[in-house]
Structure 1
Amino acid sequence: MAQSLKQEAICEICLQFFTDPVYLPCSHVFCRHCLDQWELEREDFLIECPSCRAVNERAISDPHVEAYSQWLKQHWGLLEMELYLTDEVRSMREDVRLDPSTAHSLLLLSCDLKSVQCGTISHNTEPDASRVPQLVSVLGSPSFSMGCHYWEVEIEGHEWALGVCRESVDRQCKGDVSCEQGFWIISKQAGEIHAHSLEPPEYPCAIPDLRRVGIFVDMEFEVVKFFNAENNDCLHVYDSVPSCEPLRPFFSLGLPREGAPAASLSFLQ
């Protein structure tokens, strides 16, 4: 996400933040000076787009792009701290373990409660109010009511969801879980990463090979952040997360597919 944000403000010719940007009818944007230099190479005074090679008659000033580029250039140092996983965040790592009393009957927990796998045979099928029965899920411990906390997981499977939920969340909730219901999570579905919020709408990003995810919770600033722990990019940020009651780690695994390895999750040290 951080790189895509920066890419929107970078000229493809000089590879720097835009200066006096102009856009072509083909929709590509460049610095005016860079495009002028590029145009000198043609004798017919037409503008061949350096990106798509479309031939255009004129370039148009874009004050909105210039304002965005200047703002991003000014604040990029601070944004990098917000949009990347840093050593400072990793230093807040918590010893999170799985809570057996909240585990779905298809989930097999390791003896040290540091990993879980989705099986095909139900066990411990007695109803338990601690579980979220509509999801193949398990909660983590401890719960968090103050301070900053970080944990990292390695996860395998075609479908999964993870994040945090309110301690008092309705475990019998119906329909898709979202932050409006007390779940601040991301999920993988068909190779795309989704955030779960009803308003504003969230659009998926395609990261089919995402394996390691970091979750950061700041109770004071009421934010929950998700990171790709392999390249340190921020995947999604929930802000205005209520801190009036504790939050608990939440994990859900998709059901096994025929011929495919069972979904699994492990905490990374």
Structure 2
Amino acid sequence: MMKDCLQILIEPAKKLKIRLKESRKRVKLEKKEPLLESQLFIMELARELNRICQRSNILGHIWTSEDIWPASVCRDFIVEWAAVLEKRVQPRIILSEYQQEKPEKKDWKGHLLCMLEAGGECDMGPHKRVIMDWTREIKSRPQPTVWPGEPVLMMLDDLEFQWKRGRLPNLLPAMELVMLAVMNADSLVKEDVTKQWLVRKQRSQNIDTVRYIPHSVWNWICDAAEEVTLDSDSAHPDLLISSDHKRMRCGLKHREVPRCQRRFDGWWCAVGQEGYASGRHYWEVEVGERDWRLGVAKASGVRQGFRPLTTARGYLTLRLERGADLKALTVPATPLSQSLVPRKVGVYLDYEQGQLSFYDVEKRSHLYTYNEKFTEELYPVFGTVESVKDLAIRPGGVRQRCLCPGTCLWN
């Protein structure tokens, strides 16, 4: 009997050991595959930036082949940062001899074949030239090294720790942060690079590589926490609002309420009592499991009837339907992965930057960002059709425990 019991424990352990061996073997085989030119270029760029940026060796994981990005990610990175450098640093892009040829002299058939075989490697030359010239120019200075600052170093440590834990697919965010720090050293007007990184990443909507929000940046977002309360005069007649104006759910009976222009009479929604026309603001909401909507409504947004509450109607919202259909209500709607469905949502408004962002508070990860130039007052908006679980506004701004190893300067 005892032998049978032990066998139950031994078998899963054996299977796990086999899976781990297979996984290690697969990783070794993948690393032996020949790297494309763009991947090799990223590795060399990481080596150069590692030399330039003082007291941070995180990019060593890239140039020593511990972190190899997919070729498509490498190409996107090169094109994007070449455009940034051309605009902010270089007077003009230096075209290769191949691009300076007249179109009629190009071997279009051979060019197309090259692109199909190498995934667009032929088009990388001019963009690589811009980045290479930038790094050469930095190294030619009397003091080529750059001190990125303590906040940047702490953020790099955080990113490295999360990468090692498997919470980051690659170290692309760290590479971008170092690029920004080096560029900031050249700028006449110094900026807070960690905040600049957040604004930039949210503007690009490249959420696959930046879902995780570093500890220092998350606490900066939380510093903008607001005391948000529901405006009962705006609530749909079927909604029940708690006495503290922090919770709401659908009631079983239709209430008789005074009719007014600011009340929702179609969708089961309500807005916050205070509107925002400047500054940074953050609030958190515990949401239902089946249906909810969150975001902001412009002062001009129509609240009567069942018109779609989309960007075309003055609403910037995230919506969950049927417990799995998560989407941003753009025109047309932007579907988001079912794996992203949160239980507690953080909403962050940066009026001057023109950004409204949504986060999964429990995972401390980015969901979606609206980018728009705001010109009118914005009101927090909340919606639910659930009659059992409340949609609840929770106190925001609680600084999260640091996930960095050892002593953290942010606590």
- TM-score w.r.t. structure 2 length? 0.47
The one-letter amino acid paired with 2:331 is L
Identify, as 1 or 2, the structure richer in strand: 1
Q: 1:115 aligns with which of 247, 255, 259?
A: 247
The one-letter amino acid paired with 2:270 is V
- The verdict on how the C-alpha distance between 1:181 and 1:226 changes in structure 2, with shifts beyond 3 A counting, is same
Q: Does 1:75 align with 2:176?
A: yes
Structure showing greater radius of gyration is 2
Q: Any conservation in 1 of the 2:269–2:384 contact (CA below 8 Å)? A: yes
Taking the aligned partners of 1:188 and 1:73, their CA distance within structure 2 comes to 32
**SS of alignment partner, residue 224 of structure 2:** coil
- Matching residue of 2:328: 195
- Matching residue of 1:94: 226
- The verdict on how the C-alpha distance between 1:60 and 1:72 changes in structure 2, with shifts beyond 3 A counting, is farther
**SS of alignment partner, residue 75 of structure 1:** helix
Q: Does 1:265 align with 2:394?
A: no
The one-letter amino acid paired with 1:246 is E
Identify, as 1 or 2, the structure richer in helix: 2
- Matching residue of 1:61: 118
1:221-249 Cα deviation digits (max 9, x unpaired): 11100111111111111001x42211000
- The verdict on how the C-alpha distance between 1:30 and 1:60 changes in structure 2, with shifts beyond 3 A counting, is farther
1:175-226 Cα deviation digits (max 9, x unpaired): 3210111000000012121101115x51232147521000000110111001
Shift of 1:263: 3.7
Taking the aligned partners of 1:136 and 1:70, their CA distance within structure 2 comes to 43
Shift of 1:127: 2.4
- Matching residue of 1:253: 384
Of the structure 1 ranges 216-225 and 205-214, higher mean CA displacement relative to structure 2 is found in 205-214
Taking the aligned partners of 2:317 and 2:29, their CA distance within structure 1 comes to 35
User: Gaps spanning 5+ residues in structure 1: where?
Assistant: 1-10, 23-28, 32-58, 257-261
Superposed, which structure 2 residues align to 1:184-223 within 5 Å?
184-190=316-322, 191-199=324-332, 201-207=333-339, 210-223=342-355
- Matching residue of 1:243: 374
1:28-66 Cα deviation digits (max 9, x unpaired): x967xxxxxxxxxxxxxxxxxxxxxxxxxxx943346x9
The one-letter amino acid paired with 2:294 is L
**SS of alignment partner, residue 335 of structure 2:** coil
**SS of alignment partner, residue 287 of structure 2:** strand
Shift of 1:159: 0.8
- The verdict on how the C-alpha distance between 1:60 and 1:70 changes in structure 2, with shifts beyond 3 A counting, is farther
- The verdict on how the C-alpha distance between 1:123 and 1:70 changes in structure 2, with shifts beyond 3 A counting, is closer
Shift of 1:131: 1.3
Q: Any conservation in 1 of the 2:288–2:386 contact (CA below 8 Å)? A: no
- The verdict on how the C-alpha distance between 1:222 and 1:255 changes in structure 2, with shifts beyond 3 A counting, is same
Shift of 1:150: 0.3
Matched length: 216
- The verdict on how the C-alpha distance between 1:88 and 1:196 changes in structure 2, with shifts beyond 3 A counting, is same
Taking the aligned partners of 2:29 and 2:327, their CA distance within structure 1 comes to 30
- The verdict on how the C-alpha distance between 1:61 and 1:180 changes in structure 2, with shifts beyond 3 A counting, is same
User: Gaps spanning 5+ residues in structure 2: where?
Assistant: 1-27, 40-68, 72-115, 128-169, 179-196, 203-209, 396-411
- Root-mean-square deviation (CA, aligned residues, Å) is 3.4
Shift of 1:120: 1.3
Shift of 1:20: 3.7
